[in-house]
Amino acid sequence: MPLNERDRIEILMMIGVGDRMRTQQEVCRLFHEMHPDREPVSQSTVSRIERKYRELGHVRDAPRQGRPKINENVQQDVILSALENPHCTVRQVSRDLNIGKSSVSNIFKKVKYHPYRVRLIHELAEDDFDRRTEFCEYMMDHNNQNNGFIANILFSDEATFFLNGHVNRQNTRYWSQEYPHWMQEYHTQHPQKVNVWAVPITYCIFNVFSLKWASASPLFSACKSIKSPVNFPPRR
């Protein structure tokens, strides 16, 4: 256990003054006798305490060096940086304000700022909203006429891996106290990409494909061998 200021003063008193001074070895032995449950002090520690008192006139700890404590002005600067640019990173704010990254993170956490991720949505055409309503009405009508209608539909899904620097949701953030509903439209047809496509039907997955064809005709032929296609309302 490190010595506090009271322990150092006690050691100075054990050293004594004038012709009644003890040696460093005697001080170490006396301190251990008075505090048997503590770690013994060394002669170098006694010598260092005595020298510090003679040079400085006290045995207090020197002011600690390092980064200054975060004050209200620094906290306001960090919040202002996020308000001016909600997409800033902790590293950018740390570099601009010359404070540690951990301090920036702690300030964001203190004011309840959270780095929300961008939500990617499909680009919608002008007539897509009406077509959504038409599709829902079509599905409801056919399901009322045939309860097994939905079980005969192949619901396909795919994951797209872009190779041309498309938006990466892992590297985009929006600092805010509330969910900002930040969305960004993106096109579904890009030249440099790889699609992984799967077909769930009823309670099973039909297959998984890596799309490398020029068209979807091989996929359509494969699915057609399982179920007959359903003619949905065509795009106008």
| Model pLDDT, residue 187 | 57
Measured at the CA of 161, the angle between CA 158 and CA 165, to 5 degrees, comes to 145
CA atoms within 13 A on the CB side of 227: 16
| Model pLDDT, residue 183 | 63
H, E, C per residue of 150-203: HHHCCCCEEEEEECCCCCCHHHCCEEECCCCCCEEEECCCCCCEEEEEEEEECC
| Model pLDDT, residue 167 | 53
Is 209 within 8 Å of 196 (Cβ atoms)?
yes
Measured at the CA of 169, the angle between CA 173 and CA 179, to 5 degrees, comes to 45
| Model pLDDT, residue 227 | 47
Q: What whole-number distance in Å separates Cα of residue 100 and Cα of residue 104?
A: 7
CB atoms within 10 A of CB 28: 20
Pick from 78, 129, 66: nearest CA to 106: 78
pTM for the predicted model, two decimal places: 0.36
CA atoms within 13 A on the CB side of 235: 5
The pLDDT tens digits along the chain (236 residues) read 578 888 888 988 998 887 788 898 999 999 999 988 888 888 888 888 888 888 888 888 777 666 556 688 888 889 888 888 888 889 888 888 888 889 999 999 888 988 887 777 777 888 888 998 999 999 889 888 888 787 777 777 777 766 655 555 555 666 667 766 666 665 555 456 777 777 776 666 665 555 554 444 555 555 555 544 444 444 44
Single-letter amino acid, residue 106: N
